[in-house]
């Protein structure tokens, strides 16, 4: 709604306004934040131990990247919306090129180009 109030933006569609302003869709922002946090944990850029959040997948598929994460089974639904459960499916769908990058800034830039992979346009 804010972008409509900017001069010359009233008649444009939401997507056109975002493109002109260089912004991403609101629903992608939390997804990107989750993936950036997962990258930081996986590449040990934060003081959160990897093993406290995730475990690597035991079945090494021939496709994808070597950082495929596995779901830990839980007896209760309370974990259903927790960070590890939320991010694993998205993380596993990223390409090896994106996940294996060595720099956080490069990872963030590459995330902008994978919105279709994340299920959003």
Tens place of pLDDT per residue across the chain (121 aa): 888 999 999 999 998 998 898 887 888 888 899 999 999 999 999 999 988 888 887 765 556 677 788 877 666 777 777 888 889 888 988 888 888 888 999 998 888 877 645 555 4
- CA angle 84-119-18, nearest 5°? 110
What is the torsional sign of CA 97, 98, 102, 108?
positive
**CB atoms inside a 10 Å sphere around CB 42:** 17
**Across the chain, how many H-helices and E-strands are there?**
6, 0
């Amino acid at each position: 709604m804010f972008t409509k109030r900017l001069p010359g933006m009233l008649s444009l569609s939401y997507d056109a306004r975002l493109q002109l302003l260089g912004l991403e869709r609101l629903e992608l922002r939390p997804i990107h934040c989750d993936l950036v946090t997962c990258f930081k944990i996986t590449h040990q850029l934060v003081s959160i131990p990897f093993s406290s959040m995730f475990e690597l997948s035991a079945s090494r598929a021939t496709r994808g990247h070597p950082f495929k994460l596995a779901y830990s089974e839980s007896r209760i639904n309370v974990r259903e919306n927790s960070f590890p459960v939320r991010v694993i499916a998205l993380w596993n769908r990223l390409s090896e090129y994106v996940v294996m990058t060595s720099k956080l800034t490069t990872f963030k830039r590459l995330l902008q180009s994978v919105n279709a992979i994340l299920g959003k346009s």
